[in-house]
């Protein structure tokens, strides 16, 4: 960020842009910040300071300038969380000018559409969930940087190598499988929270679809199979992944031979309950296709170092 100096400081409101911000010339750091936000949809200032790796004070000054000039937005829905829980890091979304700047730089991330309008429409629950996904992905990226034994392959990089039908799909991550329920064919579908790969020094790779569970939907529903309510359960989600995996949906959709479901959930007890669901789905056999970790355990480590529990109850790491 390069701004003019010598201007008098005027106190501005937290969610209002300065009417007379100092002139701004975008730097490499600014463009990197914009790319991070575009990649994750929403990021907090804490995420951006960590990803930048430099002086937090300098990053915060960059963020303020990018906000004042319309390159970044501070979505209004975050005010709900701020008022309930006290001051927290600001949340940023990509603004119109930020999307334009990235397009002019030839960025590989999909940055079409009116981002400022999308930010206005984003609700508090959507933003909170997006930030939880960002917590995981930011921790994963930082772990890959420091360890050196695995390189992060981001979602857009995997999709760029996927079959054309996936590359051109409106929802390229949507995982679908057909199954006969109560005498008729039903299409099961879930949309994971993310997709990532780990590339190892020997040029092999492991791929994962990411699910971040907030603990707000039931594990099992007793509603009639095929009804909308029945589909809103962990059992439905896990069984959809399971049936798709057996039919090699990952190969058809992403062009990769192996993939696993990495589920971050709200508590160790919920992990145990999910393992019971896996036993039910797999008729007691379990499956290493599924990986589970609770949020508290993950917070004490990082995604690569922490031990995950497979659907067979075995402790492993993502790099195993």
Structure tokens that stand for 32 in this block: 């990197």
**Tell me: the pLDDT tens digits for 104-119?**
887 656 666 678 888 8
The pLDDT assigned to 19 comes to 86
pLDDT of 220 higher than 70: yes
Cα(271)–Cα(281) distance, rounded to whole angstroms? 15
What digits encode the pLDDT tens for the residues 34-84?
999 999 999 999 999 999 999 999 999 999 999 999 999 999 888 775 445
Structure tokens at 64: 């303020």
pLDDT at 297 over 60: yes
Give the model's pLDDT for residue 88: 81
Average pLDDT over residues 133-156: 95
Average pLDDT over residues 152-164: 96
β-partners of residue 92 are 43
Residue 112, pLDDT score: 64
Predicted pLDDT at 7: 38
pLDDT value at position 179? 78
Which pLDDT does position 245 carry in this prediction?
96
Res 206 pLDDT > 50: yes
pLDDT single digits (tens) 242-274: 999 999 999 999 999 999 999 999 999 999 999
Residue 2 has pLDDT above 50, yes or no: no
Do 155 and 171 form a contact (C-beta atoms < 8 A)?
no
Q: What is the mean pLDDT of the chain?
A: 89
Per-residue pLDDT at 11: 44
Question: What is the rounded distance in angstroms from the CA atom of residue 243 to the CA atom of residue 190?
Answer: 12
Phi, psi of 25 (to 5 degrees): -115, 120
What is the model's pLDDT at position 224? 57
Mean pLDDT for 162-189 is 87
pLDDT for the residue 3: 42
| Residue of 61, 31, 29 whose CA lies nearest to 45 | 61
Helix axes 45-52, 28-40, angle to 10 degrees: 130
Greater confidence (4 vs 74) lies with 74
Give yes or no for residue 158 having a pLDDT over 90: yes
Q: Is 85 exposed, middle or buried (0-12, 13-18, 19+ CB in 10 A)?
A: exposed
Q: Let me know: does 94 contact 115? Beta carbons within 8 Å.
A: yes
Q: Please give the share of the chain, as a percent, with pLDDT higher than 70.
A: 88
Token pair 């996904």 in the structure block, residue: 133
Q: pLDDT value at position 4?
A: 39
Distance CA 229, CA 232 (A): 5
* pLDDT value at residue 291: 98
Decide if pLDDT at 185 tops 70: yes
246 C-beta neighbours (distance < 10 Å), count: 11
Kindly state the percentage of the chain with pLDDT values over 90.
72
């Amino acid at each position: 960020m390069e701004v003019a100096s010598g201007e008098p400081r005027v106190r501005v409101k937290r969610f209002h842009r300065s009417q007379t911000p100092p002139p701004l010339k975008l730097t490499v750091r600014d463009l990197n910040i914009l790319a991070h936000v575009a990649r994750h949809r929403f990021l907090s200032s804490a995420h951006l300071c960590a990803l930048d790796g430099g002086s937090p004070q300098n990053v915060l000054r960059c963020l303020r300038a990018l906000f004042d000039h319309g390159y970044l937005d501070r979505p209004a829905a975050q005010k709900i969380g701020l008022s309930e829980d006290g001051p927290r890091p600001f949340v940023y979304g990509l603004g119109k000018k930020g999307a334009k700047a990235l397009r002019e730089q030839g960025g590989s991330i999909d940055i079409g559409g009116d981002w400022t309008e999308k930010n206005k429409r984003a609700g508090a629950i959507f933003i909170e969930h997006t930030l939880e996904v960002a917590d995981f992905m930011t921790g994963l990226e930082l772990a890959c940087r420091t360890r050196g034994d695995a390189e992060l392959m981001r979602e857009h990089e995997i999709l760029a190598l996927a079959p054309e039908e996936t590359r051109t799909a409106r929802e390229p991550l949507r995982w679908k499988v057909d199954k006969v329920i109560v005498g008729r064919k039903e299409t099961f579908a879930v949309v994971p929270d993310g997709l990532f790969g780990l590339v190892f020094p020997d040029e092999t790779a492991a791929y994962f679809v990411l699910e971040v569970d907030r603990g707000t939907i039931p594990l099992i529903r007793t509603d009639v199979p095929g009804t909308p309510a029945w589909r809103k359960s962990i059992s439905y989600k896990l069984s959809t992944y399971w049936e798709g995996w057996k039919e090699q949906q990952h190969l058809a959709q992403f062009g990769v031979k192996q993939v696993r479901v990495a589920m971050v959930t709200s508590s160790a007890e919920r992990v145990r309950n999910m393992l019971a669901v896996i036993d039910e789905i797999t008729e007691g056999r379990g499956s290493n296709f599924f990986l589970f970790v609770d949020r508290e355990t993950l917070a004490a480590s990082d995604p690569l170092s922490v031990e995950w529990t497979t659907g067979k109850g075995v402790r492993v790491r993502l790099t195993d």
